[in-house]
Every structure is written in C-alpha cells, then in structure tokens.
Structure 1
Amino acid sequence: MNPIGGYYGLELPKGAFSWHNTPYTFKSGRSSLHYILQLTKPSLVYIPFYTCNGLLDSFEASNTNYLFYEINHLLEPDELPDLSPNEYFLYINYFDVKREFIGTLSEKYGDKLIVDCTQAFFMKGNGRSWFFNSCRKYFGVPDGSYLYMPNHIHSNLPAVKNEQYIVSHLVSRFNGHAREGYLSFLENEVLCGPEIAGMSKLSEYLLSHINYEEVIDIRYANYNYLDTVFTEQHLFPPEPCDECVPMVYPVLLNKFPNRKSLAEQDVFIPTFWTDVKDRKHPGFEIEKLLTAHLLPLPIDHRYNLGDMERMVRLIKHLP
C-alpha cells in the first residue's frame, strides 16, 4: 500500500544504464556464495588460501567443508584436483586479469566451478559455471551482488530485499570527509554479511545511473599510465584479454610498503589480505609474500591522470 501524505523520501527515478543481465541479485558477494552453497550442498569445496576471511563466512553459514589450495606467481594453482562426486572448485578472478584461465577451468569443471568475481565486477557468467560479484567494491552503493547460474539450473529469487544497511559513510565521502566516514563504512561491511537477501532497492536505483562504458574507459586510462611507470614491478604479465577491466594496478615492491605514510597524504591503499598472514598454516609462502608486499593501486573512475601522477610521486618517495 502506498502511503498518502507525510514527509518526502528520496527522489530516485530509475536510470537507463545497466551492465548485468541476470535476475539473481543479492545483498553481497558473501550472500550470493551462501545461496550457491545452500543450493548445491557440496561435500567439499577447494578454495584459494589467498583470500579474505569474509569468503569463509559463507562456508560457516552454510556448514560447508572447504580445503585450501596454493597458488603460484601467476595467481593460479599449480595442480588442479580431480573432483569427487559433489565436490566443487572455487577460483577468484584476481583483479579481473584471469579470464582466460577461468575459461580453462570452466571447460574442465563445468557446473562444479564457482568463480568469485568480487574483484571483477564487469565479468558476466558463461552459462556453464557459477559466477558472483560485489557491487560496493566498485561503486558507492550500500550493498549489492549479481549472481550468474549455469544455464540448466533454475531457482527462486531471494524472497526479501535487503534493508539492513547504512549510508552515512557514502554521504560523508560525498561531502569530502572520507576519514570521518570510515567507521560507518566498517559498520556497513558487517551488515553485508552472508545472510541470504536480495539487493536493496537503493543500490538498484544507484547502479542504474552509472555510465559503465565511461567507467571502463577511465580505468583503462589510469591503468595504462601506471603501466608506463611500474611495468618492471608489475605483479605478473596480464593476459591478452580485451574484455578484462582491471580492478587495480598491482605493484609488487621489494620492501614492505609504508601504507601509513601514504594514508597521511590521503592515499589509501588496501591490503589483500591481512587475514592471510594471521592464519596459522605452514607453507603458502607466495600468498604471504603478496599480503606483505603487494600494493594494489586504485585506478577507478573517481580519479584522473593528475591523481595517478601524485600517487606515483608519493610511492617513489616512500621511506
């Protein structure tokens, strides 16, 4: 029932832009993964050690067993397991530069492959395997994830849209107060947990107003500029893929990067992922090296070449 009278709400006419063509939307990547695990009920899922603990939340919520595997310097497993009945293999499209390898995995595993595209918003499903992403890792929205299923699998949409979110961090950043909104950002991250719920109406509206082609062009321009500066320190040679839209520019330094010094100059570089070094597992040396030394430099649509130049100067003068 539409209430009549009273105060006004947000004026949010639906926009004309879209990128994804799946009806399956969820409140977060963790929520999408929880839904996949609940639907497929695997006996075991192989997952990369180089991931955040947020991924593990979905396994705990669905009571699903998992086993870590190692990756090499190309961010690929050295050995691929032969899956037993009802076992699945999960792979992360790191920084959206692993599409060709994912094609190989999809040919091998079919609907037993789950592709985590939380670092690859622009990748769509291929009809053979499972794909899910995360909207708020790419855009200023409170929640959201798109899920692609194998073509032969059909299921019901989530019955309830997410209403458990906050937007004060988005408003703070919009008003130029990024530091002040950080605690609210962390609060909202907790709300974007593995519970199964559909994407919020607010995120659906906001995402319909984004010019995705323009966003992609800006990412390419920023990435290409950084590549002229850091090509010798690039994490690994990118795949020859015209459709890849890199999330970041990954620079691997030969020393521990001083993120605190950069943050003091309002350059905030994330760590992928502190959870890795905190796990008490022997081995996994490449994963721990990446966590300690990798600088995933922002290249998104909020920044221009002048911003890239300032970031480069600060990095080159790190203590």
Structure 2
Amino acid sequence: MKTIGGEAELQQDKYNTYFTDSGRSSLRLILRSLNLKLVALPDYLCSVITDVFVQEKTQFTYYKINNDLSIETSTIDDNCDAVYIIDYFGINHDYLRELPLVSDKIIIEDNVFSPYIENTLQLKKWISYNSYRKFSACAEGSLIKSNIELNSDLIHNLPAPFINAKYKAKRIKYEYLNRNLYSEENYLHQFKKGEELLDQQKEIFTISPQGFNQIIKFHESLVCENKQRDQNYQILKKWIVPVSFHIPDFKSFFVFSCENIQYIRKKLMNHKIFLARHWPNSYNISSSLYQNLLSIPLDPRYNKKDMERMSKIISKYLY
C-alpha cells in the first residue's frame, strides 16, 4: 500500500552541485580543486579561459576545432590528464561517446551557453559549468555539476564586487530603451566598469540573493522562452546558413560564417544591427574561426518581425 502524506521524499542527486558568481570563477574553482599537470584546450575559445589558465599556472596545449565547430580528436595530446571541451553555443559533441579519451581523461565541459547541464556522454570523470550571464538577463551566476568533488571552501559566501555595476547598467539600459531616460553612454560606462571589476577579480564568490531570484525567474519562463528561441532560429535558417550542422536544444545564438567580417559588421550597424564577434584572438592562435564567425542573439527580446528584418539585411550582404 502506497504511503500518503508527510514531508515529500527526495532521491539523492548523484552529482556534486556548486554555484559561483560567474563562469570564470567556476573555472578557477575547478583548477584550484584539481592537481592538473596538462590540460588540452580547443584552439577556438574565449581568451578569458586562457587568461584563467595562465593566472592559475595550469599548463595547457591546444587541439584543433574544425570549421563546423566539431573536434579534430586526433590532435588532442595523449599526455594531457584533462580535456577542456566547449559546447559551442549549445551544441553537443555526442560523437565523442565511443572514443577512449572520454573514459581515460578528466573532461571539463564548458557549457556556458546553456541552462541545461547533463552528463549526456555518461563520463566517469566529468565536470561541467555554465554562465547565466551568457544566455539570459541575469547579471551573475554559474552552476557547476560534477561527479568529482571540488573544494567548496574556496567559495566566499559573499556577492562578487562586479555585480553592483552590472545591475546598475542593466537598469539604466532598461530606462533608456523603454522610457527614453539617460543615454547610451550612461549604461555602456557602467557595463565597462563591471567588466573591469570582473577582470580584476581573482577570488571566487557565491551568488547574491538578487542573482538567485533572477535565475529562478529565468527558469520559470524557460518553456515559453524556448518556443520563441526555436521560432527565431527557424526564421534565420531560411535565409542564412548556420556554421554547425548540430541544432542545439537551447538556442542561445545563431552563428554563421562570413569572409569580410569587418565590412559586414559596419554595414549592419547602419541598420542598427550590432552583432557580437566570437572571439577576439588575444593569444594569436592559428584558427580561421576567429576571423569568420558572427552571432545573432535569439532571446525573446526579438520577435518574428525582428528576425525577418535581420535575415533579409544580412543575407543581402552575405550572398
């Protein structure tokens, strides 16, 4: 007979879970918790990742990422004890499932473009983290899931110094866009100040109560948001060829390749379309991806009309 009533039961999670203030803090927690001698990094990555490895004095080598954002697995150094894998814009490297490297090495999965963190490859030595700042309106927050225990004592139980400037910038931008108050320079100045504080930060902090609240609100609306993102993605796909054949579960950005990236960005700015370039090649790594990729945000700020307008304008300069 089934028991009814009382406090609800809860199955124990088989993964360790941690929250930090940002993706780079999560990476610092991982590196400070593990004694890694050599980590294989992809040759297409945000320079902040490399910065953290250099600052944490963790040795690394590069492996090749193909033009479709897949991994050239033969270029991964056999001597490394960990492989850093980036799920570019939410793509899933499920083809790695049968390869020895996923069972022999520690896999650090950079999942900063997605709210979903799952051990889809069933890796035995697996750590993955995201960054809510990359795909939502949240100003802070990074979730880590791992079947390797990390040193949570390294996380300061305080909000990070950068968040006040970020929240102020977001509030001013809202007032500027919706109530015609302040100026563009006002919020750009605050965003820059927040980024400078984050760049200076070397300690690891937790999320503020405001940050937790924003993350909860984001997940509450996730079903509706996913529908809008899917619709936006499909509209763009009719006009523009995506760089990757893989369609992510959570569509953060629509990423496409173009040869004359500076020319196209400048032309688009005349139409009030400002597209992010992923990423600046601060370490002069020999990969053409740094010069060729642009991304279009897919979040619910933009509707069908916005996507169609962008599609027509961008395709005119691309093809």
Q: TM-score scaled to structure 1, two decimals?
A: 0.80
Contact 2:69 2:243 in 1 (8 A): no
Query: Contact 2:45–2:279 (CA<8 Å) still a contact in 1?
Result: yes
Name 1:204's counterpart in structure 2.
212
Any idea what the Cα deviations from partners look like across 1:50-77, whole Å, max 9, x if unmatched?
1111112321332211112211123233
User: Could you say which structure has the greater relative contact order, defined with CA pairs below 8 angstroms and 6 or more residues apart?
Assistant: 1
| Structure 1 residue ranges without an equivalent (≥5) | 1-20
Distance in 2 separating the partners of 1:28 and 1:106: 31
Aligned mates of 1:105, 1:271 — CA distance in 2: 32
Asked if residue 249 in structure 1 is aligned to residue 254 in structure 2, the reply is: yes
Q: Percent identity?
A: 22
Calculate the aligned-residue CA RMSD, in Å. 2.6
Q: Give distance in 2, aligned partners of 1:142 and 1:120.
A: 15
Q: For residue 130 of structure 1, what is the amino acid of its counterpart?
A: I
Amino acid at match of 2:230: Y
Give the corresponding residue for 1:51.
45
Letter in 2 for 1:234: P
Deviation at 1:106, TM superposition (A): 9.1
Bigger shift: residues 25-34 or 200-209 = 200-209
Which structure: greater helix fraction?
Answer: 2
Q: How many residues align?
A: 285
CA shift for structure 1 position 81: 3.4
- After TM superposition, what 4+ stretches of structure 1 lie above 4 angstroms from structure 2? 102-107
Alpha-carbon distance in 1 for matches of 2:105, 2:129: 13
Contact 1:141/1:170 (<8 A) preserved: no
**Structure 1 residues 148 and 236 mapped into 2: Cα distance closer, same or farther (>3 Å)?**
same
The alignment partner of 2:226 has SS state of: helix
Counterpart for residue 300 of structure 1: 299
Matches within 5 A, 1:233-272: 233-238=241-246, 244-256=249-261, 257-272=263-278
- CA pair 104-75 structure 1, distance change in 2 beyond 3 A: farther
Q: Which residue of 1 aligns with 2:145?
A: 148
Q: For the Cα contact (< 8 Å) 1:169–1:184, is it kept in 2?
A: yes
Q: CA deviation at 1:313?
A: 2.7
Query: Superposed, which structure 2 residues align to 1:119-130 within 5 Å?
Result: 119-125=113-119, 128=123, 129-130=126-127
Report the residue type matching 1:153 in the other structure. E
Residue pairs, 1:1-319, within 5 angstroms: 23-78=17-72, 79=74, 81=76, 83-84=78-79, 87-101=81-95, 103=97, 108-109=102-103, 112-125=106-119, 128=123, 129-150=126-147, 152-153=148-149, 155-156=151-152, 158-164=155-161, 165=163, 166=165, 167-177=167-177, 179-180=184-185, 181-193=187-199, 194-210=202-218, 211-230=221-240, 233-238=241-246, 244-256=249-261, 257-274=263-280, 276=281, 278-281=282-285, 284=286, 287-288=287-288, 290-318=289-317
What secondary structure does 1:136 align onto? helix
Q: Is the 8 A contact 2:87 2:93 kept in 1?
A: yes
SS of equivalent to 1:124: coil
Q: What secondary structure does 1:190 align onto?
A: helix
Cα displacement (A) at 1:235: 1.1
Structure 2 unaligned runs (5+)? 1-14, 178-182
8 Å contact from structure 2 (residues 18, 145) kept in 1: yes
Deviation per residue, 1:183-212 (Å, 9 max, x gap): 322222233345311122221111111211
SS of the residue aligned with 2:33? helix
**1 CA distance for matches of 2:152 and 2:283?**
36
Contact 2:84 2:109 in 1 (8 A): yes
Amino acid across the alignment from 1:31 = S
- Return the offset for 1:90: 0.1
